[in-house]
Amino acid sequence: MEVVTIYEHRPATTTPAHPAELPSGPIGRLRAAFRHAMPALAAWTTVRLVGLLTVWLWARNTGRSPVRELTDSDGVLYLGIARNGYDAVEKLQNSNMAFFPLYPGLTAALGRITPLDLRHAALLVAWAGGFAAAWGLFAVGAHLYNRRVGVFLAVLWGVLPHSVVQVMSYSEGLFTALAAWSLYAVLRHHWLTAGALCLAAGLTRPTGSSLIGVVGLAALIAVVRRQDGWRPWAAMLLAPAGWVGYLAWVGWRTGSPNGWFRIQGEGWGSSFDFGVNTVQRAQWVLSRPAELEFYMVTLVVLLALMLFVLSMLNRQPWQLLLYSGLLLVTTLGAAGFYHSKARFLLPAFPLLLPAAVALAQTSRARAVTVLTTLTVISAYFGGYLLLIWRFSP
């Protein structure tokens, strides 16, 4: 008789190593952590290489440049910022000031210190960000449950329908890395690390506001409980500094305190309507023939909502629930760019924990079957997004 287990979050238990076996120094600890995460990193790299090779061969067979396709759409705007900086103040229509500065800044810096051109530099930064994100997801999953769950969490993130973005010149991979490691630091009460990484995440994407709420509230609770001395205070100051600082800079440049929001609304047609537009677009997709991307986005949105409920039922730590919930609110509550909402949800990795736990409990053969199928779907859909779909992913 097969025994079915309902799996809730329980802190991982580990047996302390013998003192002589403990790694000494930061380099030793980093090596040990890397070895511990190696299965997850190897698995994520494998599934992303399958997707990348699919795009590469597909593009070549249709007479297109794979590098150009991987750096197209929003990637062109990031490259423009890296090359020429931000637009003039007078420009609101499609102003690149809507895009946060860390990713293009890292691209520009890498282009200056290496022989790489900006396109290849942008891809290298994105790939490094995706790799760091997979490592961070593994760390969170292994900390909350066990090593096996951590591996499946990283791999599932790598086979999502829109995972091709993780190897494009987009900022989702970098942001996910910063968010994952910041949340990991919060869970371990490493307040300075959590605050600094949250600051960097706030300079990467506007959804950094979701992470700020989590780090800020967790630090506030520690302050109220008089835990960890001055460090939670520092985390509360650091966490919003990047996000608020960039919005303040845009406001200063445009001469309007809400300058960034004006650019989003007047220039890009994006506003916040508490999800009215999202519901209307989903109804439109489900009531008439539509393109594959719209069906996939609608499916991803519905699955995300289901997984959030499952996360609550599994008693996921409140820090992860709050982060996922705020990301869902900011993504689904915004009007416009319905076709990109699945991509915007890529950083909501805690939503994948129920699926990762389920895979960790099943047999190796079943898990491999599921992940192989998802890898094939993800690889095809990545090629579809870049080479057939006519808008940004």
pLDDT at 267: 85
Mean predicted confidence (pLDDT) in 147-167: 97
Closest to 279 in 3D by CA, of 223, 333, 229, 352: 333
**What size, in residues, is the chain?**
393
Q: CB-side exposure of 255: number of CA atoms within 13 Å?
A: 5
Q: What is the pLDDT of residues 46-66, one digit of tens each?
A: 999 999 999 999 999 999 999
> What digits encode the pLDDT tens for the residues 198-256?
999 999 999 999 999 999 999 999 999 999 999 999 999 999 999 999 999 999 998 88
**Distance (Å) of CA 91 to CA 221, 253, 258, 259:** 43, 11, 15, 11
Q: Is the pLDDT of residue 17 over 90?
A: no
> Would you state the structure tokens that stand for residue 169, as one six-digit string?
């010149």
Paired tokens of 255 = 């001469």
> Around Cβ 83, how many Cβ atoms within 10 Å?
12
Where is average pLDDT lowest: 16-30, 71-85, 177-191?
16-30
Q: Which amino acid is at 16?
A: P
Strands 334-335 vs 271-272: parallel, antiparallel or unpaired: antiparallel
Bin 94: left if φ > 0, else alpha if -120 < ψ < 50, else beta: left
Tally of CB atoms within 10 A around 273 = 13
- Which range of 24-38, 55-69, 260-274 scores highest in mean pLDDT? It is 55-69
pLDDT, position 18: 40
Handedness of CA 299, 305, 308, 310 (dihedral sign): negative
Give a three-class secondary structure readout of 271-312.
EECCCHHHHHHHHHHHCCCCCHHHHHHHHHHHHHHHHHHHHH
- In the numeric block, which tokens belong to residue 17? 């190593």
Tokens of 35: 């070895």
Percent of the chain predicted with pLDDT > 90: 85
**Band (312; pLDDT cuts 50, 70, 90):** very high
Alpha carbon distance 199, 243 (integer Å)? 7
Contact (CB, 8 A) for 356 and 156: yes
The band of 88, judged by pLDDT with boundaries at 50, 70 and 90, is confident
Instruction: Tell me what pLDDT residue 9 has.
Output: 54
At 104, is the pLDDT very low, low, confident or very high (cuts 50, 70, 90)?
Answer: very high
Average confidence (pLDDT) over 370-379:
97
Three-state DSSP state, 363: coil
The residue ranking higher by pLDDT, 270 or 329, is 329
DSSP letter assigned to residue 18: P
What mean pLDDT comes out for the span 141-158? 97
pLDDT score recorded for residue 20: 40
